[in-house]
Structure 1
Amino acid sequence: MTVLATVVTAVLVGLAGVLMLGAQRQQIVVQAENSSRVHYVCSGSECVVLDDRKLLDSPGAVIRYATTEVRPELTLSPFGEFGYEVVGAGPRPTEEAAWTITTRAQADLNTAALGLLGVFVLITSLVSVTVLTAVGRVLRPVEAMRAEVAEINENNLTRRVPVPSSDNEIARLGATLNETLDRMHRTVEDTRRFVADASHELRSPLAALRAELEIALSHPHMADWPTVVKMALEDAERLQELTTDLLLLARLDADALDRQDTVDLTAVVRREVCRRGMVTLDVEEHVLVPGRRAQLSRLLGNLLDNAERHAGTEVVVRLRGGATATLEVIDDGPGIPEADRERVFDRFTRLDEARTRAAGGAGLGLAIARRIAGRHHGTLEATDAEGFRGIRFVATIPTGIPQPRQAAVVAQQRIGDEVWQFLNGSITSTHGHIPEPRPVPDPALDWDLIFGEHQPAHR
């Protein structure tokens, strides 16, 4: 910036100086011509300077007037060559007199050129120093920010850059950097807490499974092997659910929702509700939204699981269309305190009355549901249940599709939904422990919800 300002100033001042020096040269040449101009009166071949005090010695019959002047040819360079030209019909001045006039004019021009050069250097230097000082002062906070950011690593994410007190771009840059560092800090802390909670949740069924097997092996003749196998299957099923949820959360956090289908959300709601009891359905027909059918089914499934777990006698599901599809799941359970309504969407969060393994789950269902809503550019909130004692979960998803539309285009159910429901345990077996075996899935089945764009090695 300093170099650019110096160059621009030098060019502008230089052009102005050249123009001023050219005008000064013209003025000096005119002054030299005026000072060297001599008027003569001539009669025949005799000429005398036109002066009232001197007359011609022998005036002739014809008298004429003549003028002679020296016109300097000056150069703008102090070290260049210069000359002169004698103009007029009168007697020529001596060479010494002509050179004296020309040399004096060139000296005056050189003095003016050196003066302008000094002004040029002074102005350019002042601009350079001023810009350098101003830029250095402006960038000093940026350098302080850079030095502070260079010292921040994963072990000291609490440090923040200094923010100037002035309200300018540098202060806003510092505030933005601190906000970014805050988000990074929260993300790292959430990741660390997530890893710790996941390890804790996985350790409990693993420890129980190991203890059961070790006890049975230590007394093989006394063990009730059908009961041991049943309990081991329960722990294995819980491990499967946890790992599936953890893998799904990792995929939801890492991937963007690039490929979207047109989903009939009404059909998804009806299909999910038909497998459940004590659910009252109130939906509009053919509410279409862009997204992934399996993920939207998982969102509703998690909300229904939570509602059925805490409901007293009734669960209500409502669906309304329009510019934004609104899905409500209401239960008449004990509800959620207002202070905890945002916390329940955190991973591995279970309220005090839902801490047990049987009643509380792993605390990932609502976190997954909100993440799916966010991936579909929507929201998921917990609010008061109007007319109920419990809680109402409201999911909003932008449709982006003109309503209504022919449902025949989107009414087909994808086989991949059944695969996903089989994996997450929505389809339960008659004995209540593990899902019933299914036929080997076709290669065209939709595994994207878990594996993204990468197909599993063995199906």
Structure 2
Amino acid sequence: MKSLQARVTVLATVATALLVGLAGMLMLVSQRAEIAMQTADSSRVHYMCSSTRCVPLQPYATAATPGVLVRYASTEVRPALSLWPFGDSAATRSQQVGEGPRRDEDEARAIASRAQEQLDSATLALLAVLASITTLVSVTVLAATSRVLRPVETMRAEVAEINEHNLTRRVPVPSSDNEIARLAATLNETLDRMHRTVEDTRRFVADASHELRSPLAALRAELEIALSHPYLADWPTVVKSALEDAERLQELTTDLLLLARLDADALDKQDTVDLTAVVRREVSRRAAVTLEADDQVLVPGRRAQLSRLLGNLLDNAERHAGTEVVVRLRGGETATLEVIDDGPGIPEADRERVFDRFTRLDEARTRAAGGAGLGLAIARRIATRHHGTLDATDAEGFRGIRFVATIPTGIPQPRKATALGQQRLGDEVWQFLNGSIVPAHGHIPEPRPVPEPELDWALIFGEHQPVHA
């Protein structure tokens, strides 16, 4: 029995039958006792007895005294009634109780038979009433469940018609404000999320194909031109250009693989990360970056991903900054990480769009400085995976933009801000020589170029690193 309607109807019918049957049984037992008592009362005969004979007493009639010394006695018929209404009432047994003379057996049997017939009639009438009540309940439950489940069946049929080629259809929402209506609304919300996810995936695949095609086409054109004129080609220049295209392809595929992992994996394995140490380590690799950070801001998460979040924000800030980039870290119940630059800024209408994948504003569309438009998308995805947020707001005191990332900690932490830009000159020189930071003062020599950091294979591939030939 797979139908929910049939199950509910059968369950309601059985429950009603049990309850009604129990009530009917109690009523029949009470009715039997009442009929037996009425039969005994109606069959009772009172006698005035002497030592030799008994004279029956009749209501409102004069009776002759049978002797000088008399006593009063009575006799009644008590039938043994059965609750089974389909038996032979003539075979009903009875018992005569009392000190008076016994009644004739045929007369006693007739009294018991009439009492049994009366009980059988009452039993059959009660059974008919109980059967009618049970049937009425069954029909009512069947009609009610059919009416209640009709919208569910409509929703099921509508969802069955939805496929990957038609995700715009939605289930009808009943006008009544009940559980079925809320189910339909929730189902439509789920379908909306699925639709957006599928559309994002399709757009992501199309954008990724477009981004991969451009460097591949450039690489192929360069090699084909060089091969068509092998004696005229400047092979070192050709190889260098091909290597740049290959590096761009490698960076793009690495970002795509990271996005795929961030979308697929759940952040179930977390460590306690000292976000201050992560920020200082990342800032130490950059030039002309001012850091203001609280000491020992602890957050739950993965160190490599948090480092990647800040690295992407700093890459974006350095790409657009005029002269200054400021990083601020504040602790508390929520860790707040700010990256501020004094560049041209982002129009307010585009501040949410910049976090979409492959989104590049007009100023960033050049091949040399534009990138693939995945850095901010990866940064926001990492912040979201750490149950935080990442938004772009106005930069207070700056002409550029401020990116604010918040990550919940749940641990109240002391605020001991230290600004590296305000430390002593000797500390700056020592940190410069040590490679921690690069101060932007004219009397300190410019630092040597920092080598490109190696790819964090643990972040991309997990525990399994790629095998190099």
TM over 0.5, shorter chain: yes
Tell me the CA shift for residue 401 of structure 1: 4.2
Tell me the CA shift for residue 340 of structure 1: 0.8
Equivalent residues in 2 for 1:75-114 (5 A)?
A: 75-80=82-87, 82-114=92-124
Partner of 1:390: 400
Q: Does structure 1 residue 155 correspond to structure 2 residue 162?
A: no
Q: Report if the CA contact (8 A) 2:342-2:400 is conserved.
A: yes
Look up the SS of the partner of 1:358 in the other structure.
coil
Partner of 2:81: 74
Partner of 2:247: 237
Q: Report if the CA contact (8 A) 2:272-2:298 is conserved.
A: yes
Q: Report if the CA contact (8 A) 2:94-2:109 is conserved.
A: yes
Distance 2:274 2:391 in 1: 22
1:41-89 Cα offsets, whole Å, 9 max, x none, are 1222222212443425xx4342222211111111111134621111122
Look up the SS of the partner of 1:190 in the other structure.
helix
Tell me the CA shift for residue 458 of structure 1: 4.8
Pick from 199, 209, 212: which aligns with 2:209?
A: 199
Equivalent residues in 2 for 1:256-405 (5 A)?
A: 256-401=266-411, 403=413
Look up the SS of the partner of 1:357 in the other structure.
coil
**Aligned residue identity for 1:289:** V
Q: Does structure 1 residue 222 correspond to structure 2 residue 232?
A: yes
Partner of 1:419: none
Distance 2:463 2:23 in 1: 67
Q: Report if the CA contact (8 A) 1:267-1:286 is conserved.
A: yes
Tell me the CA shift for residue 348 of structure 1: 0.2
Distance 2:271 2:75 in 1: 99
Partner of 2:220: 210
Q: Report if the CA contact (8 A) 1:72-1:102 is conserved.
A: yes
Q: Does structure 1 residue 6 correspond to structure 2 residue 51?
A: no
Q: Does structure 1 residue 48 correspond to structure 2 residue 55?
A: yes
Q: Report if the CA contact (8 A) 2:294-2:329 is conserved.
A: yes
Pick from 29, 34, 39: which aligns with 1:22?
A: 29
1:120-159 Cα offsets, whole Å, 9 max, x none, are 0011111111111111111110111111111111111111
Q: Report if the CA contact (8 A) 2:92-2:109 is conserved.
A: no
Distance 2:401 2:449 in 1: 32
Structure 2 CA distance for partners of 1:314 and 1:435, relative to 1, 3 Å? closer
Distance 2:330 2:288 in 1: 21
Equivalent residues in 2 for 1:126-145 (5 A)?
A: 126-145=136-155
Structure 2 CA distance for partners of 1:193 and 1:235, relative to 1, 3 Å? same
Equivalent residues in 2 for 1:410-449 (5 A)?
A: 447-449=457-459
Tell me the CA shift for residue 377 of structure 1: 1.3
1:196-217 Cα offsets, whole Å, 9 max, x none, are 1001001100100000000001
Q: Report if the CA contact (8 A) 2:342-2:401 is conserved.
A: yes
Look up the SS of the partner of 2:369 in the other structure.
helix
1:176-225 Cα offsets, whole Å, 9 max, x none, are 01100111111111111101100100110010000000000100111111
Pick from 21, 29, 32: which aligns with 2:39?
A: 32
**Aligned residue identity for 2:297:** V
**Aligned residue identity for 2:38:** Q
Which sections of structure 2, spanning at least 5 residues, go unmatched?
A: 1-7, 416-447
Tell me the CA shift for residue 346 of structure 1: 0.4
1:346-375 Cα offsets, whole Å, 9 max, x none, are 000011222222221100000000111111
Distance 2:155 2:277 in 1: 54
Tell me the CA shift for residue 380 of structure 1: 0.4
Distance 1:189 1:147 in 2: 24
**Aligned residue identity for 1:29:** A
**Aligned residue identity for 1:85:** Q
Distance 2:335 2:138 in 1: 62
Look up the SS of the partner of 1:317 in the other structure.
strand
Q: Report if the CA contact (8 A) 1:251-1:452 is conserved.
A: no
Q: Report if the CA contact (8 A) 2:321-2:400 is conserved.
A: yes
Tell me the CA shift for residue 117 of structure 1: 0.3
**Aligned residue identity for 2:22:** L
Tell me the CA shift for residue 293 of structure 1: 1.6
Look up the SS of the partner of 1:350 in the other structure.
coil
Structure 2 CA distance for partners of 1:447 and 1:226, relative to 1, 3 Å? closer
Calculate the aligned-residue CA RMSD, in Å.
2.0
**Aligned residue identity for 1:390:** G
| Identical pairs, percent | 79
Tell me the CA shift for residue 448 of structure 1: 2.8
Pick from 59, 69, 72: which aligns with 1:65?
A: 72
Which sections of structure 1, spanning at least 5 residues, go unmatched?
A: 406-429
Structure 2 CA distance for partners of 1:312 and 1:457, relative to 1, 3 Å? closer
Report the more deviating stretch, 252-261 or 320-329: 252-261
Q: Report if the CA contact (8 A) 2:332-2:411 is conserved.
A: no
**Aligned residue identity for 2:268:** D
Structure 2 CA distance for partners of 1:47 and 1:431, relative to 1, 3 Å? closer
Distance 1:281 1:50 in 2: 122
**Aligned residue identity for 2:355:** F
Tell me the CA shift for residue 403 of structure 1: 2.8
Report the more deviating stretch, 291-300 or 360-369: 291-300
